[in-house]
Amino acid sequence: MYETILYEVSEGVAVVTLNRPDKFNAFTELMHKEIIAALKDAQKDDAVRCILLTGAGRAFNAGQDLGEVSGGEVDFGGFLRKRYNPMILQLQKTEKPIVAAVNGVAAGAGMSLALACDIRLASEKASFVNAFVSIGLVPDSGGCYFLPRIVGIGKALELAMTGEKVSAEEALRIGLVNKVYPAESFMEEALAYARKLAALPTRGIGLIKRTMYKGLEMGLEETLEYEAYAQEVAGSTADHKEGVAAFMEKRAPRFTGR
Ligand code: T3D
């Protein structure tokens, strides 16, 4: 069904694999469209309670396929508005947890893609390169939004201005990734992590995601008000009732995502 990605659902997790390994999974127009379509499929499908985004082969994603844009005039603004921005906005709109399983290098907009996911897991072989500066460009695809919010403005400016490679170990140290796993067991560990998330209250997690990201943009009063609204919705879910009942009955909860 897809040409540039693989999409597979099992045990509550939709695994989206960027699948152009010979080009380090670099973005093409079709890949943007297919990622957006896969995210929409995952959002609609009640069997999906977590999305795991990874890359085939040695890389996670090397940003724009430079072969596609070299040699001609590029309408950069139009290019981003039409192709990259809708993909990043779709990640945000998806009210399910999105985990980046960064298996290898994440460069340019590939790094931005990982930053726009909710949680980043890294193989010890992963690395991050804010490659834009090396070709005279500015971090795009939300790179100027997420990077300073995740690592702080000082580190974000350093990484963007120098384009220096960050190892998985350093990424963990500066808070760029949440966990690092050995390369041999990486996908197993990432899947296990995603399955755990998929077994949690999915609607509550969707509301946490929306409220937390909104909180980045709002003042305290507005955030308090939005939390009150979100809690009304979360408080009406079956998973909230199940969580309280399980606590009272001293047993493990069985969340259904509703
Ligand atoms: O129009 C616009 O550009 C606007 C949009 C901007 C969004 C962006 O993402 S701009 C940033 C674009 N990306 C880059 O500049 C990264 C370019 N790649 C690299 O710097 C390096 O390849 C890496 C740091 C990612 C990895 O280095 P290394 O030494 O591990 O691997 P390599 O040998 O350089 O690459 C391996 C293969 O992947 C190689 O193919 P080959 O020679 O074995 O046939 C290489 O050409 C290919 N590859 C890597 N990155 C890209 C790519 N092919 C096309 N596009 C790429 N971005």
pLDDT, tens only, 176-205 = 999 999 999 999 999 999 999 999 999 999
Q: Nearest-CA neighbor of 96 among 150, 142, 40?
A: 40
- CA 84 – ligand 1 centroid, Å: 17
Overall average pLDDT of the 228-234 stretch: 98
pLDDT at 187 (0 to 100):
98
Overall average pLDDT of the 218-245 stretch: 98
**The two structure tokens encoding residue 46:** 């009640």
Contact 9, 195 (CB under 8 A): no
What is the distance between the alpha carbons of residues 149 and 136, in angstroms, rounded to a whole number? Answer: 23
Q: Does residue 142's CB lie within 6 angstroms of at least one atom of ligand 1?
A: no
Q: Nearest-CA neighbor of 113 among 125, 100, 122?
A: 100
CATH class held by domain 202-248:
mainly alpha
Q: Does residue 62's CB lie within 6 angstroms of at least one atom of ligand 1?
A: yes
Overall average pLDDT of the 135-151 stretch: 98
Residues whose CB is less than 8 angstroms from the CB of residue 118 and which lie 6 or more positions away in sequence, other chains included: 97, 98, 99, 209
Q: How confident is the model at residue 168 (pLDDT cuts 50, 70, 90)?
A: very high
Q: Does residue 2's CB lie within 6 angstroms of at least one atom of ligand 1?
A: no
What is the distance between the alpha carbons of residues 105 and 109, in angstroms, rounded to a whole number? Answer: 12
Domain residue spans in the chain?
5-198, 202-248
- CA 130 – ligand 1 centroid, Å: 12
Tell me the β-bridge partners of 98: 51
- CA 23 – ligand 1 centroid, Å: 7
What is the distance between the alpha carbons of residues 111 and 109, in angstroms, rounded to a whole number? Answer: 5
C-alpha triplet 106, 110, 115: angle, nearest 5°: 90
User: Count H helices, E strands: the chain?
Assistant: 12, 10
Mean pLDDT, rounded, of the chain: 97
| DSSP 8-class letter at 69 | H
Chain segment 84-129, per-residue pLDDT in tens? 999 999 999 999 999 999 999 999 999 999 999 999 999 999 999 9
**The two structure tokens encoding residue 189:** 């560990």
Percent residues over pLDDT 70 in the chain: 100
pLDDT at 227 (0 to 100):
98
Which residue has the CA at smallest separation from atom 3 of ligand 1?
64
pLDDT at 69 (0 to 100):
87
User: Hey, what amino acid is at 30?
Assistant: L
Architecture of domain 5-198: Alpha-Beta Complex (3.90)
pLDDT at 93 (0 to 100):
96
